[in-house]
């Protein structure tokens, strides 16, 4: 009798093949179950009697439904290779428990794998599949939204960050009675002078910055400048153990006891250094280490590298800081989109580049805004309530006043092949020129800014 599949499980299975790329496919196919990854994982080391923490076991929870649907042998003889599809919501919950609650995507197991299985890549894919149907820890949903909309999991806007720096700058000026003190941001060739920290310091290589981004020696270089007694922990660099707070673990309170238990490995590693300060370059690690230091009662503080360096800074030379001109300064852009989130998102992107931003939720309001103050460029969503973006575009191109106004179409239906809106067909039919750019949603920020800059430059050349 065929087993009935829940709606969520069905959606996960349907989306599986869309999410798999070549690297994920190979990582799912290549495992030979040799078990060399087992003792590389901090969860295993802290829970030696529970096989479900082994990286290969966790990977197999994803692998088995991949095999049931895509692998040749798995489809023909599922029992032979341990393939099994997903059917129930409970199975999705169990998978959630594995991919969110038993792995921090630290990639340590991948370095030990002779086959080159990249566990973090497909664990992330599995997280994506589950999130697609709403099966995810609530905390992750919140931070993921901040990360997506604002660009960091703390939900700190760039403006807020710069404002905080400005505020710190003023505090420093007051504290040292020196109005010339500056905190230069993105200024090349600034001189930095350090004072030395006398306490024993060790460095924790973050999984993100070190094992996944190769930043090994730079922080050590800085630490040797600002510390008298720098001690390596062991293992270190790419082989360091995870702080246990990565992969969103700090935002999943339901897994906190499990996380802290697995942190025993890290605690022993820290204790062995005899250091009084553990420094790291990752904010997640700070939280993870802080938690485990408190839990295991280590006589140790955790500090961000940047804090330690900032504390050590002295500024004997006053360097005038020239005000930097931002790339779109002096320009006005009108963002036309019916979705408030998108308007806010695009407006922030353009505002960060220094330009003035207007926005409009529909074509009528957009036309009024354009007539009241002609922008230098507009971004146009094609799907608008009442009057569509296509019609607005047509009106603008017919009007001698706005014929040359650069338009960048930002839409989920901007592509030529879009089945829902044949914008190019519309342009051909009306004999209209192509707009200055097409950007598909979700927006690639760099591509958007590059397109806008080019459109503005072309427009300037055409005028001048």
Partner 1 sequence: MHPISPQLAFVQDQLQIAALTFMAAVYALKIRWILKFPAGRDRQAPTGDADPARGARYSLAAIAMPWAMPGARRHPLFYLQFVVFHLAVAASIAMSFLIPYAPQAIAHPVAVRALQLLFAAALAAGLLRLLRRLRNPYLRAISTPDDYFSLALLLVWLALSILAAPNRPEQGEGPLLAYFLLTAFFLVYVPFSKISHYIYYPFARWYLGRTLGHRGVYPLKRSRPAQA
Which listed residue (1, 2, 7, 79) binds partner 1 by CB under 8 A?
79
Least gap, CB of 184 to partner 1 (angstroms) = 22
Q: Is 370 helix (H, G, I), strand (E, B) or coil?
A: helix
392: its two tokens: 């607005």
Interaction between residue 118 and partner 1 (CB under 8 A): yes
Restricting to residues 267-296, which ones interact with partner 1 according to CB under 8 A?
272-273
Interaction between residue 117 and partner 1 (CB under 8 A): yes
**Angle, alpha carbons 56-58-64 (nearest 5°):** 90
Cα dihedral angle (45, 47, 50, 53), rounded to 10 degrees? -60
Q: Could you tell me if 373 and 358 are in contact, meaning their C-beta atoms sit under 8 angstroms apart? A: yes
Which listed residue (45, 150, 154, 215) binds partner 1 by CB under 8 A?
215
149: its two tokens: 């909309």
Strand ranges inside 232-283, DSSP E:
277-280
Which listed residue (9, 12, 46, 54) binds partner 1 by CB under 8 A?
54
283: its two tokens: 């904010």
Nearest by Cα to 289 from 310, 311, 271: 271
Q: Could you tell me if 100 and 136 are in contact, meaning their C-beta atoms sit under 8 angstroms apart? A: yes
Least gap, CB of 97 to partner 1 (angstroms) = 16
Burial 79-98 (b: 16+ CB within 10 A, else e): eebebebbbeeebbeebbbb
Long-range contacts, 61-66 (Cβ 8 Å, 24+): 61/94, 61/95, 61/98, 61/99, 62/28, 62/95, 62/99, 62/122, 62/123, 62/125, 62/126, 63/28, 63/31, 65/12, 65/13, 65/16, 66/16, 66/20, 66/28
Interaction between residue 236 and partner 1 (CB under 8 A): yes
Least gap, CB of 373 to partner 1 (angstroms) = 37
What residues does 253 pair with on adjacent strands?
none
Which listed residue (11, 15, 182, 231) binds partner 1 by CB under 8 A?
231
Which listed residue (111, 162, 321, 401) binds partner 1 by CB under 8 A?
111
Least gap, CB of 462 to partner 1 (angstroms) = 33
- The interface region with partner 1, picked from 103-111, 156-164, 187-195, 347-355 by CB under 8 A, is 103-111
Interaction between residue 39 and partner 1 (CB under 8 A): yes
C-alpha separations of 447 from 17, 437, 459 in Å:
27, 10, 18
Interaction between residue 212 and partner 1 (CB under 8 A): yes
Which listed residue (47, 85, 105, 110) binds partner 1 by CB under 8 A?
110
Which listed residue (14, 21, 180, 193) binds partner 1 by CB under 8 A?
21
Q: State the Cα–Cα distance between residues 42 and 108, nearest whole angstrom.
A: 9
Interaction between residue 148 and partner 1 (CB under 8 A): no
Interaction between residue 450 and partner 1 (CB under 8 A): no
| Nearer residue to partner 1 within complex by CB, 80 or 148 | 80
Nearest by Cα to 159 from 169, 171, 168, 150: 150
Beta strands 193-194 and 313-314 are: antiparallel
Q: Could you tell me if 339 and 314 are in contact, meaning their C-beta atoms sit under 8 angstroms apart? A: no
- The interface region with partner 1, picked from 73-81, 325-333, 335-343, 367-375 by CB under 8 A, is 73-81
| Nearer residue to partner 1 within complex by CB, 24 or 382 | 24
Interaction between residue 80 and partner 1 (CB under 8 A): yes
Q: State the Cα–Cα distance between residues 69 and 62, nearest whole angstrom.
A: 11
Least gap, CB of 25 to partner 1 (angstroms) = 5
Interaction between residue 451 and partner 1 (CB under 8 A): no
Restricting to residues 297-356, which ones interact with partner 1 according to CB under 8 A?
none
Least gap, CB of 36 to partner 1 (angstroms) = 4
Interaction between residue 25 and partner 1 (CB under 8 A): yes
Interaction between residue 113 and partner 1 (CB under 8 A): yes
Interaction between residue 206 and partner 1 (CB under 8 A): no
User: How many residues in the shown chain lie near partner 1 by CB under 8 A?
Assistant: 63
Which listed residue (237, 261, 295, 441) binds partner 1 by CB under 8 A?
237
Q: Is 286 helix (H, G, I), strand (E, B) or coil?
A: helix
Interaction between residue 234 and partner 1 (CB under 8 A): yes
| Nearer residue to partner 1 within complex by CB, 110 or 244 | 110
Interaction between residue 35 and partner 1 (CB under 8 A): yes
Q: What is the H or E stretch that residue 145 is in?
A: helix 138-150
Interaction between residue 114 and partner 1 (CB under 8 A): yes
Q: State the Cα–Cα distance between residues 342 and 348, nearest whole angstrom.
A: 10
- The interface region with partner 1, picked from 17-25, 353-361, 371-379, 450-458 by CB under 8 A, is 17-25
| Nearer residue to partner 1 within complex by CB, 36 or 351 | 36
* Interacting residues toward partner 1 by CB under 8 A: 20-27, 29-33, 35-40, 44, 51-52, 54, 56-57, 60, 72-73, 79-82, 108, 110-118, 121, 210-217, 231-240, 272-273
């Amino acid at each position: 009798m065929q087993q009935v599949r829940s709606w969520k499980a069905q959606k996960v299975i349907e989306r599986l093949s869309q999410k798999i790329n070549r690297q994920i496919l190979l990582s799912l196919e290549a495992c030979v179950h040799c078990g060399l990854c087992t003792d590389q994982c901090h969860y295993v080391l802290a829970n030696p009697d529970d096989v479900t923490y082994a990286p290969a076991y966790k990977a197999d929870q994803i692998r088995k439904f991949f095999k049931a649907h895509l692998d040749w042998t798995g489809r023909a003889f599922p029992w032979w290779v341990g393939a099994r599809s997903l059917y129930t919501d409970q199975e999705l919950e169990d998978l959630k428990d594995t991919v969110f609650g038993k792995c921090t995507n630290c990639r340590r197991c991948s370095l030990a794998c002779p086959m080159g299985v990249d566990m973090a890549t497909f664990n992330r894919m599995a997280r994506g599949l589950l999130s697609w149907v709403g099966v995810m820890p609530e905390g992750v949903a919140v931070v993921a939204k901040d990360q997506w909309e604002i660009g960091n999991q703390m939900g700190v806007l760039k403006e807020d960050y710069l404002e905080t720096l400005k505020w710190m700058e003023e505090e420093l000026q007051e504290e040292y009675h020196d109005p010339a003190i500056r905190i230069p941001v993105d200024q090349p060739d600034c001189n930095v002078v350090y004072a030395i920290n006398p306490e024993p310091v060790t460095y924790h290589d973050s999984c993100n910055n070190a094992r996944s981004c190769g930043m090994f020696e730079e922080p050590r270089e800085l630490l040797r400048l600002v510390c008298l007694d720098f001690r390596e922990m062991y293992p270190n660099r790419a082989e360091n153990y995870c702080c246990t707070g990565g992969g969103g673990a700090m935002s999943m309170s339901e897994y906190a006891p499990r996380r802290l238990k697995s942190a025993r490995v890290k605690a022993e590693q820290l204790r062995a250094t005899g250091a009084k300060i553990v420094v790291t370059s990752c904010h997640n690690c700070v939280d993870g280490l802080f938690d485990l230091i408190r839990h295991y009662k280590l006589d140790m503080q955790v500090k961000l590298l940047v804090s330690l360096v900032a504390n050590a800074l002295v500024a004997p030379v006053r360097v005038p800081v020239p005000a930097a001109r931002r790339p779109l300064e002096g320009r006005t852009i009108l963002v036309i989109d019916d979705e408030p989130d998108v308007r806010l998102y695009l407006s922030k992107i353009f505002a960060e580049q220094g330009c003035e931003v207007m926005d409009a939720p529909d074509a009528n309001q957009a036309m009024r805004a354009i007539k009241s103050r002609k922008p230098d460029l507009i971004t146009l969503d094609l799907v608008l309530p009442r009057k569509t973006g296509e019609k607005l575009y047509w009106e603008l191109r017919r009007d001698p006043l706005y014929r040359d106004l650069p338009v960048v179409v930002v839409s989920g239906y901007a592509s030529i092949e879009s089945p829902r809106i044949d914008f190019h067909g519309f342009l051909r039919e009306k004999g209209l020129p192509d707009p200055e750019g097409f950007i598909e949603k979700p927006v690639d920020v760099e591509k958007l800014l590059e397109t806008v800059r080019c459109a503005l430059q072309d427009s300037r050349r055409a005028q001048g």
